Amino acid sequence: MARQFNAQRERFLYKWKDYSAGYLFLLPWTIGFIVFMAFPIGWSLFMSVNNVSFQSTGMAYTFVGLENFRRVLVEDSEYSVKLLMYFQEIVLMVPLIIIFSFLVSILLAQQFRGRTFYRALFFLPVIFATGQVLMELFSQGQGELPFIAQYGLEGIVYEAVGRQFAEPVLGVMSKAVIILWYSGVQILIFISGFQTIPKSIYEAIRIDGASPWESFWKITLPGMKPFIGLCTLYTLVDMFTFPFNPIMELVSKHMFLQKTGYGYSSAMAWMYFAIVLVLMLIVVWFTSRTRQAK
């Protein structure tokens, strides 16, 4: 027993030496989550299975089980339509952000004069165009590009992709500036990813006569697959928590309606969270499969 205990202790200490730095970096977030977020999240889950009403004595809770979730799925067509429309925009927006970030990071990873300045320039929107600042910019019309109305592109888009997909495509085109604003973190991740690929591999393949195009497809892209998955995961979360997200606006609206209230809106939020979680798990699964195939 003592020998087994010592073996487990040594194994724990060995793993702690490997992972202790990562756990220490996670510690501030973990403390903040427990103190500020754990209770509100648990309380919203409690309200999602209750009808919440305001009375003179305070808030009253009536347990209804999964009735709120059933109403969201069966009775609320607005929720389903807005979710589908926004999901179509996300399907278009996320690949554009990833491709744009990847191409810019390739340029910024090269050796040239003023590289640090341009790296900082692409990261500035992450600092300034967030939260209330972003909402104010969009309210002033600074978040949309006017070229759609100027060049009459709406009719062309409707003819090219049909009425079903025209709205998401036009929504992405009108918010094209978001691709720039929401690419700063991804660019930094990709630049860090490039630094993990040994330069000796490029030198060896260049000696063998491979072109830069071949080295990109055989060395750079396979080596960057984990970082592409990470950036895709980050971008999904970023887009699904966008300040002008129509689902979040719908949840906020139903919080203060007499027929729905906090319980119904909490059920909408948890269903939305479940959908986002499934998409995130798909990305994680696909990324792990590509790494195993490698």
Rounded Cα–Cα distance for residues 212 and 217 (Å)? 9
Question: pLDDT tens digits for 8-33?
Answer: 666 766 667 777 777 788 888 889 88
Compare 63 and 15 and report the one with higher pLDDT: 63
pLDDT at 261 over 70: yes
- Kindly list the structural domains of the chain, giving each domain's residue range(s) and its CATH number in brackets, ordered by start: 71-293 (1.10.3720.10)
pLDDT, one tens digit per residue, over 88-139 is 878 878 888 898 889 888 888 888 787 788 787 777 777 766 656 666 666 6
Q: Is residue 290's pLDDT more than 80? A: no
How large a percentage of the chain has pLDDT more than 90? Answer: 0
Q: Is it the case that residue 294 has pLDDT exceeding 60?
A: no
| pLDDT value at residue 207 | 82
193, 224 contact by CB (below 8 A):
yes
Q: Given this model, what pLDDT does residue 5 score?
A: 57
> What predicted TM-score, i.e. pTM, was given to this entire model?
0.75
* Residue 1 pLDDT grade (very low, low, confident, very high; cuts 50, 70, 90): low
**Residue 216 · residue 106 · CB < 8 Å:** no
Q: Residue 274: CA atoms inside 13 Å, Cβ hemisphere, count?
A: 8
